[in-house]
């Protein structure tokens, strides 16, 4: 390959038709792969509701040991409750609990207006 200086001289002295041409090199192309078509989503009706939100307001009864306040009776009544007792702090008319989940040390209540009480 000619040096840079020689190419510059050749460019200035020779007209474009008499310049040495570089051999044409064809780039080897990789064989084209067919691009898979994406799957079209089927137009379907929206899914019907499987689980309706609870709406029935519940009276909440509690029992067991309330030493850590897990019964929701407040600090004054945090005693051992042997029989089910109505929890007046979760009245059906004013608070409106519609669902409850309980565990060993915790209880969670969902109200009719989508508030979560623990």
Which pLDDT does position 100 carry in this prediction? Answer: 92
Which pLDDT does position 56 carry in this prediction? Answer: 92
Residue 5 has pLDDT above 90, yes or no: no
Which pLDDT does position 1 carry in this prediction? Answer: 57
Q: Over the stretch 48-76, which tens digit does the pLDDT of each residue have?
A: 777 778 899 999 998 888 777 777 777 66
Tokens of 54: 């609870």
Residue 24 has pLDDT above 90, yes or no: no
Q: Over the stretch 83-102, which tens digit does the pLDDT of each residue have?
A: 998 988 888 899 999 999 98
Indicate the DSSP class of residue 26: P
Model pTM score? 0.52
- Mean pLDDT over all residues of the chain? 76
Which pLDDT does position 116 carry in this prediction? Answer: 94
> In whole angstroms, how far apart are CA 87 and each of 17, 46, 77, 114?
102, 41, 11, 20
Higher pLDDT, 105 or 22: 105
Spatial separation of the C-alpha atoms in residues 80 and 67, rounded to whole Å: 7
Closest to 90 in 3D by CA, of 82, 105, 103, 102: 102
Spatial separation of the C-alpha atoms in residues 34 and 100, rounded to whole Å: 56
């Amino acid at each position: 390959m000619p040096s840079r200086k020689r190419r510059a001289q050749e460019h200035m002295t020779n007209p474009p038709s008499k310049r040495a041409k570089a051999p044409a090199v064809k780039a080897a192309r990789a064989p084209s792969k067919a691009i898979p078509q994406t799957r079209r989503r089927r137009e379907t009706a929206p899914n019907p509701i499987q689980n309706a939100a609870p709406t029935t307001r519940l009276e909440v009864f509690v029992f067991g040991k309330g030493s850590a306040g897990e019964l929701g009776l407040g600090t004054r009544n945090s005693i051992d409750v042997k029989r089910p007792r109505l929890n007046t702090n979760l009245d059906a008319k004013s608070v409106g609990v519609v669902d409850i989940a309980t565990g060993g040390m915790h209880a969670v209540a969902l109200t009719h207006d989508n508030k979560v009480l623990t």
